[in-house]
Amino acid sequence: MRKAVDLAAQSVSESDRADPPPAVGAVIVKDGVEVASAYRGQCASGNHAEKCAIESAKGSDLSGAVVYTTLEPCSRRNAPKIPCAQRLIDQGIGTVYIGLYDPNPKIYREGWKMLRDAGIALRDFPANLRGELREINADFLNQYRANGNPHGSATFDYIRSPIFSIGSSPIMVDTKWFHAASGVIHAYSSPGHIALARYAESLDEIDDPSAMDFEPEKYSVTAKEGNVVVFRGPHEHIYAIVRVEQVLSLDRGDDRNEVQFTYQVQTINIRGPLDELFEKEA
Ligand SMILES: [Zn+2]
**If you average pLDDT over residues 90-100, what whole number do you get?**
97
pLDDT at 252: 81
Quote the ligand 1 centre to 48 CA distance (angstroms).
5
What is the DSSP code string of 232-266? Answer: E-SSTTEEEEEEEEEEE-GGGT-SS-EEEEEEEEE
pLDDT digits (tens, 9 = 90+) for 148-200: 447 888 999 999 999 999 987 777 899 999 988 879 999 999 999 999 999 99
Quote the ligand 1 centre to 19 CA distance (angstroms).
16
Binned at pLDDT 50, 70 and 90, residue 118 comes out as very high
What is the DSSP code string of 140-168? Answer: HHHTT--SSSSEEEEEE-TTT--EEEEEE
Binned at pLDDT 50, 70 and 90, residue 243 comes out as very high
- pTM for the complete prediction? 0.59
Dist. CA 231–CA 210, nearest whole Å: 10
For residue 279, pLDDT beyond 70: no
Binned at pLDDT 50, 70 and 90, residue 146 comes out as low
Question: What is the four-CA torsion angle of 15, 36, 118, 74, rounded to 10 degrees?
Answer: -10
Q: Which conformational region is residue 93 in: left (phi greater than 0), alpha (psi within -120 to 50 degrees), or beta?
A: beta
Peptide bond into 170 cis (omega under 30): yes
Binned at pLDDT 50, 70 and 90, residue 282 comes out as very low
Catalytic residues: 50
Quote the ligand 1 centre to 84 CA distance (angstroms).
4
**If you average pLDDT over residues 10-26, what whole number do you get?**
88
pLDDT at 145: 65
pLDDT at 148: 46
Query: Quick one: what percent of the chain has pLDDT higher than 70?
Result: 93
pLDDT at 269: 55
Identify the weakest region by mean pLDDT among 7-11, 75-79, 116-120, 272-276: 272-276
Quote the ligand 1 centre to 210 CA distance (angstroms).
30
Quote the ligand 1 centre to 83 CA distance (angstroms).
5
**Alpha-carbon separation of residue 9 from 14, 25, 113, 115, 137 (angstroms):** 15, 8, 26, 25, 9
pLDDT at 235: 75
Binned at pLDDT 50, 70 and 90, residue 15 comes out as confident
Query: Quick one: what percent of the chain has pLDDT higher than 90?
Result: 66
What is the DSSP code string of 73-84? Answer: PPS--STTSPPH
For residue 78, pLDDT beyond 50: yes
- Domains annotated on the chain, with CATH: 2-142 (3.40.140.10), 151-267 (no CATH)
For residue 276, pLDDT beyond 80: no
pLDDT at 281: 43
